[in-house]
Structure 1
Amino acid sequence: MQRETLFLKISVILMGLPVLASCIYLLPGIAEFFAELNPKLAFLQYPFLIGLYVTAIVFFAALYQALKLLSYIDRNQAFSDLSVKALKNIKTCALTIGGLYVAFMPLLYLMAEADDAPGMILIGLIIIFGCLVIAVFAAILQKLLKKAIDIKSENDLTI
């Protein structure tokens, strides 16, 4: 099991690297481009950046919870309340990211309208849908894990 969880830990870290790189190099340029493209809405440049950075922070919190969950699996604590809590935090992070993107959809619409790029709206909708899928999946896993823990504790009491 160590090899599989090590592979997953490396995968989680590799998922975070492009997001970190885009936060450092790509996002400020996108915000400046939007401000130049639509000078009337240039004042939205910084709220846009703040929203994306908050989203990135929540994403990294979810990745951290995934790493914690994998470390619980490594230590044979997969069926514990700690794992249930990590799944709950992942679900909360996914819902938070989805909510932030829903809140920033009007801004994405304005950017897409100014740049004549309807794909930006589609990207925002895909992110929202992906967050909802992750949140539902984490909620289902959380309930299943909680039931398994309850059954395990009930079996421990009968023996």
Structure 2
Amino acid sequence: MMKRISILFLQAVIVLIGIVALTFLIWTPLTEGRATNLDAFSIYSDPFILYVYVASIAFFIILYKVFKLLSYIGQHRVFSSSSIKILKSIKYCAIVLSILIAMAGVYIRLFHNLDDDPAGFLAICALSVFVSIVIATTANVFEMIVQNVIAIKSENKPSN
């Protein structure tokens, strides 16, 4: 019972992270300095804002896959080929996300307005890339563990 509550709590946290991220993605462009005199269409059709939305797809896929992996854990199916596929997907999405964030940081560094100071944005980019790499590495380690457990289980099964 306690394990089920823990899994439900973690799934609720994943959903909350998704809601907060989505709210941030929708709300932040409206409050950005250069958007004060623009209409909604002009704000959301900005190429950089569109790039952020496209890049965020990988983040939301990661959240969905983690939610799904937690449900597998709750069903005692964590050591299955489906879990391996989910972990691979998390790993690849995290790698893609880190590359996309790094590219955004490089773009801002090279093409920022000289009146603006990009240090804060670049710090957030560096932190986000680091977190994405940690997630990819963790998913890779878990993937290898699950593969090893599945291999051990298949070796220990009695043959008929």
With the shorter chain as reference, the TM-score category is 0.7 to 0.9
**Map of 1:40 onto structure 2:** none
* Residue in structure 1 matched with residue 34 of structure 2 by the alignment: 33
* Pair 1:59 & 2:66 matched: no
Partner AA of 2:120 in structure 1: G
* Distance in 2 of aligned mates of 1:18 and 1:149: 36
Q: Secondary structure at the match of 2:115?
A: helix
The answer to whether the 8 Å contact 1:112/1:118 transfers is no
The residue aligned with 1:74 is 74
* Count of paired positions: 151
Question: Which letter maps to 1:51?
Answer: Y
Give 1:29 deviation, angstroms: 4.0
Gaps of 5+ in 1: 37-44
TM-score of the pair, normalised by structure 2 = 0.84
Partners of 1:17 and 1:105 in 2: how far apart? 24
For the 8 Å contact 2:30–2:36, the answer to whether it is kept is no
1:14 counterpart residue number: 16
Quick one: which amino acid aligns to residue 22 of structure 1? F
Residue equivalent to 1:149: 150
The whole-number CA distance in structure 2 between the counterparts of 1:89 and 1:157 is 32
Unpaired runs of 5+ residues, structure 2, are: 38-44
Corresponding residue for residue 105 of structure 1? 105
Whole-Å separation in 2 of the counterparts to 1:94 and 1:114: 33
For 1:70 and 1:135, locate their aligned partners in 2 and report how far apart those are by CA, in whole Å: 17
Once the two structures are superposed, the pairs formed by residues 85-96 of structure 1 within 5 Å of their partners are 85-96=85-96
Answer whether contact 1:94 1:135 (CA < 8 A) is retained.
yes
How far apart in 2 are the matches of 1:113 and 1:6?
Answer: 48
CA distance in 2, matches of 1:153, 1:35: 62
Q: Which amino acid aligns with 1:105?
A: G
User: Normalising by the residue count of structure 1, what TM-score does the alignment of the two structures yield?
Assistant: 0.84
Distance 2:9 2:113 in 1: 38
Q: Write 1 or 2 for the structure with the bigger share of helix.
A: 1
